[in-house]
Amino acid sequence: MYTHRISLDCITYGTEETTDTYFQFVLREIHNAKCGGDPETSPVVDRYRVYRRSGKIEWLERIEGDWRPYNPAQIR
């Protein structure tokens, strides 16, 4: 999904929230000599929630601020 947006070598992830129901993680840009950008920043690329029982994935639509069903074809 990100291969046309940013090199996978220039992305990192981290857990932001965990509950009994889901865990939430963030993808961030890596800024360094190889990837470019300001090394003092680590901008968010996307946020996701994965529901433990169902395996359902949601994606945070940043403009509206709503969690939506993950559909890679709709995320650009």
> Does a structural domain hold residue 19?
yes
> Does a structural domain hold residue 2?
no
- pLDDT (tens digit, 9 = 90+) per residue, 32-70? 999 999 999 999 999 999 999 999 999 999 899 999 999
Q: How many domains does the chain have?
A: 1
Find the domain containing 60 and state its range. 8-74
> Does a structural domain hold residue 3?
no
The predicted model scores a pTM of: 0.81
> Does a structural domain hold residue 44?
yes
Binned at pLDDT 50, 70 and 90, residue 75 comes out as low
Collect contacts of 52-61 with beta carbons under 8 A, ≥24 apart: 52/20, 52/21, 52/22, 52/23, 53/21
pLDDT at position 34 is 93
pLDDT at position 3 is 52
